[in-house]
């Protein structure tokens, strides 16, 4: 038996489902603007032509917007916004990349220009150094020319002629003295014996004559003693040998317990020549060689060395 309802109070809670509206195709792009700006009657009138009689307007139908449609529209808008932002970023990146490429090209050109400038500076510095050297040589030559005496060729030839004449006259004078005094001089100067200082041979002879005079006087040889005394009175000694002996003693005394380079230099001024210095200093004076200790034991050792030096060479 079929079930029946006697209570119709709940029927108001239920509503009949509205029939689905057939989907209308979207208007063409050129028709969309016309449809949005004009009424539906104008739209259809434009489609049918101006001569067609207008139809009676119908009330607009309600549009149903579903959540799926809203989501789809939002998705499309988001995608369009993302695409626009992406295109803007790509354009900005391309612009920046172009700027970077231009800067890289400028940097390369700048490096090349810098290298060329450095090469040019190096060449200029070399040229400057060469010019400085030439200037220094020119200045030195100019200074030498200024320092040289201003003597012309004629004066130089005259001076040379005078020097030659003076030398000839000196030779004649020496020959004349040798000829005129050969009968009166006591002794002739020996050949092959050089002097360490002017008058050295004469000073040694005078000291030898003084020693011989004292020996002759002590030995009772009166005549010899008187002759030698007369010769010494006629030929006074300059005292150079005594002075040199005192100076050698003073140098050795100042040296103390160490013979250094300054001591050797002081002895060389007196005519000594330094030979070697392996274990001892070796000195030479007119062919006479003798050692000198580098480190004497005491000051008396230096004085003994000085006495020995003076005895052997003075």
The label of the residue with tokens 């509205």 reads: 18
- DSSP code, position 184: T
Q: Which residues contact 230 (CB under 8 A, 6 or more apart)?
A: none
Q: What is the pLDDT of residue 38?
A: 44
Q: What is the pLDDT of residue 51?
A: 47
On whether both 216 and 270 belong to a single domain, the answer is no
C-alpha to C-alpha distances, 124 to 117, 127, 130, 133, nearest whole angstrom: 10, 5, 10, 14
Alpha carbons 274 and 263: distance in angstroms, whole number? 11
Tens-digit pLDDT profile for the chain (314 aa)?
444 444 444 444 444 445 555 555 554 444 444 445 444 445 445 544 544 455 556 666 656 668 888 888 888 888 988 999 999 999 999 999 999 998 888 888 888 888 888 888 888 888 888 888 888 888 888 887 777 665 567 777 888 888 888 888 877 776 665 555 444 456 667 777 888 888 888 899 999 999 999 999 999 999 999 999 998 898 888 888 999 999 988 888 888 777 788 888 888 888 898 887 677 788 889 888 888 877 766 667 778 888 888 888 88
On whether both 275 and 221 belong to a single domain, the answer is no
State how far Cα 238 lies from the chain centre: 60
Q: Give me the domain span that covers residue 283.
A: 240-313
Q: What is the largest CA-CA distance in the chain?
A: 206
The answer as to whether 165 is a domain residue is no
On whether both 74 and 142 belong to a single domain, the answer is yes
pTM (global) more than 0.75: no
The answer as to whether 47 is a domain residue is no
The answer as to whether 295 is a domain residue is yes
Residue 208: both structure tokens together: 């030898």
Q: What is the pLDDT of residue 259?
A: 79
């Amino acid at each position: 038996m079929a079930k029946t309802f006697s209570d119709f109070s709940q029927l108001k809670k239920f509503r009949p489902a509205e029939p689905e509206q057939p989907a209308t195709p979207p208007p063409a792009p050129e028709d969309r603007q016309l449809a949005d700006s004009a009424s539906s009657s104008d739209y259809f009138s434009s489609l049918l032509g101006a001569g067609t009689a207008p139809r009676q307007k119908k009330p607009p139908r309600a549009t149903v917007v579903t959540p799926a449609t809203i989501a789809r529209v939002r998705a499309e808008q988001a995608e369009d916004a993302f695409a626009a932002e992406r295109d803007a970023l790509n354009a900005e990146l391309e612009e920046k990349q172009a700027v970077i490429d231009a800067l890289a090209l400028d940097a390369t050109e700048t490096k090349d220009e810098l290298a060329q400038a450095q090469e040019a500076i190096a060449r200029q510095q070399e040229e400057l150094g060469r010019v400085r050297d030439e200037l220094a040589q020119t200045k030195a030559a100019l200074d030498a020319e200024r320092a040289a005496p201003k003597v012309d060729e004629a004066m130089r030839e005259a001076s040379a002629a005078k020097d030659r004449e003076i030398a000839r006259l000196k030779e004649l004078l020496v020959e004349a003295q040798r000829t005129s005094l050969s009968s009166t001089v006591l002794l002739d100067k020996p050949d092959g014996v050089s002097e360490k200082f002017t008058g050295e041979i004469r000073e040694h002879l005078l000291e030898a004559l003084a020693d011989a005079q004292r020996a002759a006087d002590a030995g009772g040889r009166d005549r010899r003693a008187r002759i030698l005394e007369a010769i010494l009175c006629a030929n006074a000694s300059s005292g150079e040998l005594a002075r040199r002996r005192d100076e050698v003693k003073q140098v050795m005394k100042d040296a103390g317990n160490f013979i250094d380079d300054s001591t050797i230099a002081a002895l060389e001024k007196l005519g000594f020549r330094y030979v070697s210095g392996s274990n001892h200093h070796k000195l030479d004076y007119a062919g006479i060689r003798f050692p000198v200790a580098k480190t004497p034991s005491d000051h008396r050792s230096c004085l003994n060395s000085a006495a020995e030096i003076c005895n052997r060479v003075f």
